[in-house]
Amino acid sequence: MTRKYAYFPGCSAKATCRELDTSTQAVAGLFDIELTELENPGCTGAREFRAVSEMLHLTANGRILAQAERLGCDLVAVCDTCLLNLTETNHRLKTDAAARDAVNRALASEHLAFKGERAVKHFLWVLTEDLGEEALRARVVRPLRGLKVAPFYGCHIQRPSTAYGATPPDQAPALDRLCRLLGAEVVQYEGANKCCGFHVIGAEEKIAVRMSGGHLGNAKTNGAQCIVTPCPLCHTVFDAYQPSIEREFQRAYQVPVLHVSQLAGLAFGLSAADVSLSRHVVGCDSILAHIGGSGSPAAAAAE
Amino acid sequence: MSPSSKPTTEPDKVRVRLYRFDPATDQAPRYESYEVPYTPRMRIMDVLDHVHETLAVDFGYRWLCGTKKCGTCAVNVNGTPKLACWDAAEPEMTIEPLSNLPLVRDLVTSRDPFEASLASLSPMLVRKAEYAGFPEPLSAQDMAPTAHLRDCIQCLACQSVCPVLRQPDSGFAGPALLVALSELAQDPRDGADRARLADEVAQVFKCVSCYECERVCPTEIPIVSEAIEPLKRLAHSAGRSAGARRTRAFLDVVKARGYANAALVALKTNGFSLHGLRLALRLLPRGKLNLADAFLKRSPPGAAAIRKTYESNGQSSENPE
């Protein structure tokens, strides 16, 4: 059965982190998931729309939600910050009739309307919840045996609790569980649930570099061979700014940073090229060497 | 919490590890362990009282009201800030002072830096006009935006977990001070230049939006959306900080194109710089900078429709009600 979703890649996955788009589509293809990319969806406004104008925030996000509803599908995001903006707007417009009417008046010129019929999901949750862990486990052809992975969640996939509810204390978070079922070893370290500092890095680089450098150092000290994150903004800080972090802390890290769909894709048998692993600032050769080269999983399995 | 997840039996004792350190006399911090008899509905503070009254008379901790009003008893319990007077005792507790604040002794942290920063923000109503006399023409609607902010008891739990405040010399005021400033900034009677105070003194644009402050707030204030974002709204158009410039740059780029372009936002924020060039040269070979998109494709398809939709609602910064 084909699972169909409306797909909002966001600005990072279409530019700075195009490898996120490539690998997400590649993994979706393995599971008969159809991601229909929205046409000219615009922007969720990062942290800026919501700060300067509540109506701009609700309209921009309501427009994206209405586009997904027109396709008749749940909406999939691959960026933590987009996910939060869309999740909060979806909830607000479902429960606040005055806000919904105001947004729908603005959307009328494009013959769009928010009705409140669809859910917003991160692609990580499509994997772990919609497909389920059994289906994922069955697809692992190149287990990431012995690979020490440090999950980095990012803030906006888990906070605030008004958007996501309180974390169930007796349940390991989704990304930890995914890493384990892919065969990897989850590195416990201080910082996995903390902030990378992305939202000030364009103006206050030193603050962000020092914040993320602390987490990166903890991950490295605890043996991490790579970081994996569901957020392209966190990815940009840890990967693109890693040379800046190294300079600030006077320490060589060289920790590759993978998107969730890249790490999962490798375990599901996709090649390094399939998940676009060469588009990183910090090279991923050490990961490929560990899991058995960039060749076919059959060769890796024969080892 | 569902009934099934409640413990079926209550513990008969509480094991507590207490942080002990007097910077005036001790070489290094130490932990002392105590067992305290459990009493029904026991609070963290009851445990501390028992230790102080019967086991370690020289042990330092602080509280005044005991009823979630004064904000002086917040401590770290198993790594998370809690109000000792309000949160339940747990069977095993490591209790430490709030982190990231100067230590006085044992669990007592200094409020001096916080009070000094507060004083720099004109933390009183600065009236636009002379006081009109009682009753003041002030409606519930006028006060609604700050209703939650007035729940703040300044316990400093938020300040202790703020990752920006942990950076040396960040210049950032921190969430508790921004709550205090925002309450005044949104008060219709106030006439002080709160936009300048927010941008230049409190440096609100250094907030990373991580929501750690909301996670630990004992009075559940939506600090980011109801205190910090209204201050950014007030300060972004005239603000002189790099953060205010970046906010304007982001809005300009997205309104013109329908989406963000990292290179354009960076150029509009900081202008051309060697530092920016170095970063660009790092990203270009990896295909992470789309310069053709930034400089050649002036009007991306669909941008006009997006702009029109945004602008039909975007100019109003008020609530939709």
Q: What digits encode the pLDDT tens for the residues B155-167?
A: 999 999 999 999 9
B266 vs A: CB within 8 A:
yes
- C-alpha B217/C-alpha B195 separation (Å) is 25
Which chain A residues are closer than 8 Å to B293 by Cβ? 15
Reduced to 3 states, what is the DSSP secondary structure of residue A17? Answer: coil
- Structure confidence by residue, pLDDT tens digits, B109-124: 999 999 999 999 999 9
CB contact under 8 A, A162 and B293: no
> Contact A298/A216 with Cβ under 8 angstroms?
no
What are phi and psi for residue A120, nearest 5 degrees? -110, 130
Question: Which domains does chain B show, CATH number per domain?
Answer: 13-109 (3.10.20.30), 112-235 (1.10.1060.10), 242-314 (no CATH)
Q: Judge: B290–A15 Cβ closer than 8 Å, yes or no.
A: yes
Contact status of A132 with chain B (Cβ, < 8 Å): no
B243-272 average pLDDT score: 92
Specify whether the CB–CB gap between A49 and A11 falls below 8 A: no
- Spell out a b/e string for B52-90, using b for 16 or more CB atoms within 10 Å of the CB, else e: eeeeeeebbbbbeebebebbbbbbbbeeebbbbbbbebb
Q: Do B206 and A207 touch (CB under 8 A)?
A: yes
Which DSSP helix (H) or strand (E) runs through B35? strand B30-37
**Is residue B87 pLDDT above 90, yes or no?**
yes
Q: B319 and chain A: CB distance < 8 Å anywhere?
A: yes
State whether residue A79 sits within 8 Å of chain B by CB: no
Separation in Å, CA of B272 to nearest CA in chain A: 13
The answer to whether residue A166 neighbours chain B at the CB level (below 8 Å) is no
In chain B, % of residues over pLDDT 70 = 93
pTM value surpassing 0.90: yes
Would you say residue B178 has pLDDT above 70? yes
pLDDT at B303: 79
Mean pLDDT of B175-181: 98
Which residue in chain B is spatially nearest to A239 when comparing CA positions? Answer: B283
Q: What is the largest CA-CA distance in chain B?
A: 76
Whether residue B165 contacts residue B207, with contact meaning beta carbons closer than 8 Å, is answered with no
* Interchain proximity B163–A161, CB inside 8 Å: no
The DSSP letter of residue B134 is: S
Q: Give the pLDDT confidence score for residue B130 in this predicted structure.
A: 86
When pLDDT is averaged across residues B53-68 and rounded to a whole number, the result is 95
Q: How many CB atoms lie within 10 A of CB A138?
A: 9
Prediction ipTM score: 0.94
Checking if the pLDDT of B320 tops 50, the result is no
Give the residue on B whose Cα is nearest the Cα of A236.
B288
Do the Cβ atoms of A253 and A245 come closer than 8 Å?
Answer: yes
**Are A159 and B214 within 8 A, CB to CB?**
yes
Give the closest-approach CA distance of B258 to chain A in angstroms: 5
Q: Is B90 on the interface with A (CB under 8 A)?
A: no
Using CB atoms and an 8 Å cut-off, which of residues 299-318 of chain B contact chain A?
300-303, 305-306, 308-310, 312-318
CA distance B158 to B174: 8
Distance separating alpha carbons of residues A186 and A148, to the nearest angstrom: 6
pLDDT at B318: 43
Token pair recorded at residue A125: 């949750």
Where does A78-130 show beta strands of DSSP type E?
A: 120-122
* Nearest CA distance, A303 vs chain B (angstrom): 32
Do B265 and A202 count as a contact with CB atoms less than 8 A apart? yes
Q: Which helix (H) or strand (E) holds B36?
A: strand B30-37
CB contact (8 A) between residue A109 and residue B210: no
Nearest to A56 by CA among B33, B13, B242, B251: B251
User: Quick check: A34 contacting B, CB < 8 Å?
Assistant: no
In chain A the domains, ranked by start, together with CATH numbers, are 3-123 (1.20.1050.140), 141-302 (3.40.50.11810)
The per-residue pLDDT for B314 is 56
Distance CA B316, CA A220 (A): 47
Q: Which residue(s) pair with B78 in the sheet?
A: none
- Return the half-sphere exposure (C-beta side, CA atoms, 13 A cut-off) of residue A256: 22
DSSP conformation class of B302: T
pLDDT confidence band for B4 (50 / 70 / 90): very low
Does the distance separating the beta carbons of A46 and B288 come in below 8 Å? no
pLDDT in single tens digits along all 303 residues of chain A: 899 999 999 999 999 999 999 999 999 999 999 999 999 999 999 999 999 999 999 999 999 999 999 999 999 999 999 999 999 999 999 999 999 999 999 999 999 999 999 999 999 999 999 999 999 999 999 999 999 999 999 999 999 999 998 776 667 789 999 999 999 999 999 999 999 999 999 999 999 999 999 999 999 999 999 999 999 999 999 999 999 999 999 999 999 999 999 999 999 999 999 999 999 999 999 999 999 855 455 544 444
Nearest to B86 by CA among B100, B72, B98: B72
Contact A63, A42 (CB under 8 A): yes
Assess A202–B contact: CB distance below 8 Å, yes or no: yes
| Sign of the torsion formed by the C-alpha atoms of B156, B207, A87 and B310 | positive
Q: pLDDT tens digit string along B267-304?
A: 999 999 999 999 999 999 998 987 777 777 666 667 78
- B236 contacts A52? CB cut-off 8 A: yes
User: Which chain A residues touch B305 with a CB distance below 8 Å?
Assistant: 40, 110
The answer to whether A194 faces chain B, any CB pair under 8 Å, is yes
Q: Which amino acid makes up residue B252?
A: D
Asked if the C-beta of B2 comes within 8 angstroms of chain A's C-beta atoms, the answer is no
Q: How, if at all, do strands B80-83 and B92-96 pair?
A: unpaired
Of B40-54, B222-236, B252-266, least confident by mean pLDDT is: B252-266
Residues of A in contact with B215 (CB under 8 A): 159-161
Nearest to residue B149, comparing CAs of B230, B207, B87, B209? B230
Q: Which residues on chain B are in Cβ contact (under 8 Å) with A51? A: 228-229, 232-233, 236, 247
Contact yes or no for A240 and B283 at CB 8 A: yes
Interface of A with B in 174-193 (CB under 8 A): none
CA distances from B96 to A205, B11, B76, B83, B219 (A): 32, 22, 5, 12, 21
Cα A1 to Cα A31: distance, rounded to the nearest angstrom? 9
Give how far A39 is from chain B: nearest CA, Å.
Answer: 8
> What is the C-alpha to C-alpha distance for residues A15 and A232, in angstroms, rounded to an integer?
10
Residue A301 parent element (H or E):
helix A297-302
Q: Which of A206-210, B11-15, B177-181, B236-240 has the lowest mean pLDDT?
A: B11-15
* Confidence band of B5 (pLDDT split at 50, 70, 90): very low
